[in-house]
Structure 1
Amino acid sequence: MVNEIAEILIKYNAIKFGEFTLASGAKSTYYIDIKTASTNPMLLREIGKAIADKYGSEFEVVAGVAVGAVPIAVAVSLAANKPYCIIRKEEKDHGLAGKIVGDIKDKKVLLVEDVVTSGGSVVYGIEALKNGGAIIGKVVTVVDREQGGAEKLKGMGVELNSLVRASEIMNRK
């Protein structure tokens, strides 16, 4: 499975080379652009299926932080035939206010992410889910850049799993 996902990410040009500033503020000579690559239905379907097949028995609801992880959460939801929720970047103060769209209270939730570097976005998601009453012990990312995210989550009592590690993609390129 890992090999298939790595090959698909390479095939759909999800790896860009140059000078980039990541969301964490770190500088990098490569960028993993799953947001754009996941606009391809074949790639998105494969990612959703891979996560649902491997982790589907471990959750009741799948969650994604807006914007990048939402398509992945939807793909996993469809593949696993389970509900999903959206974690907003900012709490809404009108309409049905709140950070979470979807029912998570007292449910076992799997948080998905496109790429984890330092884990900042994932930490935000975990905290929002816990504050909303969810039970969360695992995060699945498409790509782990292997730059401290797993260690940060471990310190929170949450396990980070990935479909592929950046080193595996870079070794295939």
Structure 2
Amino acid sequence: MDLPTLARDIDSTCRLHGEFELRSGQVVAEYFDKYLFESQPTLLRRVAEAMVPLLPPGTDLLGGLELGGVPIATMVSSLTGIPALFVRKQAKPYGTRRLAEGAEVAGRTVTLVEDVVTTGGAAYAAAVALREAGATVGVAVCAIDRSEPGANRLDQLGVQTRSVLTRADLDRAAGL
């Protein structure tokens, strides 16, 4: 897998220039729209193919985190034959009322699948909830790790983060 070329292709697809308001209210001139690579089958497949070697042996389920981790987990599942699990941010208040949709997690090893990790907050919450449901969660794989040193909350849980690309990889690809 040619990771520098993958980084260049993702960066050129997803790095937008203009005026963008962030959730915090801050206005920025540059924005990274991760859904632009996730919605393109060829780029999504290339990311998933690069993610496969990062999966730890003994993974029983791929826990795709709502929303961005779901298409990646589905593609990785298709490539590996490991069943996917779709992990919500919170349990739905109707029907099965489940946080994780798919196979039963108790007694199984779940590898979390995320698109972008910045603070690891969503993956942290998912790991805690899945552990409370009886799963073993020790690794999260992501397409892009944008976290600053010491900012990834998964470290507090002893969950290792394995990434296909980092923010530095994308910046290098953009010539920054």
Shorter-chain TM-score bucket reads: 0.7 to 0.9
The letter of the residue matching 1:141 is C
8 Å contact 1:150–1:159 — kept in the other structure? Answer: no
Q: Distance in 2 between matches of 1:22 and 1:142?
A: 21
Pick the structure with greater CA Rg: 2
The letter of the residue matching 1:89 is K
SS at match of 1:167: helix
The letter of the residue matching 1:31 is Y
Q: Which residue of 1 aligns with 2:11?
A: 10
Q: 1:136 to 1:8 in 2, by over 3 A?
A: same
Q: Which residue of 2 aligns with 1:113?
A: 114
Q: Which residue of 2 aligns with 1:40?
A: 40
The letter of the residue matching 2:112 is L
8 Å contact 1:87–1:128 — kept in the other structure? Answer: no
Q: Which residue of 2 aligns with 1:125?
A: 126
The letter of the residue matching 2:73 is A
8 Å contact 1:119–1:148 — kept in the other structure? Answer: no
Q: 1:151 to 1:53 in 2, by over 3 A?
A: closer
Q: Distance in 1 between matches of 2:150 and 2:66?
A: 18
Tell me how large the CA RMSD over aligned residues is.
Answer: 2.2
8 Å contact 1:18–1:29 — kept in the other structure? Answer: yes
The letter of the residue matching 1:154 is D
With 144-153 and 71-80 compared, the bigger mean Cα shift is at 144-153
The letter of the residue matching 1:114 is D
8 Å contact 2:65–2:87 — kept in the other structure? Answer: yes
The letter of the residue matching 1:113 is E
The letter of the residue matching 2:9 is I
How far off is 1:80 after superposition?
Answer: 0.9
How far off is 1:90 after superposition?
Answer: 2.4
Identity of aligned residues (%): 30
Q: Which residue of 1 aligns with 2:82?
A: 82
How far off is 1:16 after superposition?
Answer: 2.0
Structure 2 residue ranges without an equivalent (≥5): none
With 122-131 and 143-152 compared, the bigger mean Cα shift is at 143-152
8 Å contact 2:49–2:76 — kept in the other structure? Answer: yes
Structure 1 residue ranges without an equivalent (≥5): none
Q: Distance in 2 between matches of 1:153 and 1:29?
A: 29
The number of residues matched between the two structures is: 171
Query: What is the CA deviation profile of residues 34-81 of structure 1, one whole-angstrom value per residue up to 9, with x for unaligned ones?
Result: 223211110111111111233263511101121111001101111111
Q: 1:149 to 1:88 in 2, by over 3 A?
A: farther
The letter of the residue matching 1:138 is V
Q: Distance in 1 between matches of 2:59 and 2:127?
A: 14
SS at match of 1:59: coil
Q: Which residue of 1 aligns with 2:138?
A: 137
SS at match of 2:87: strand
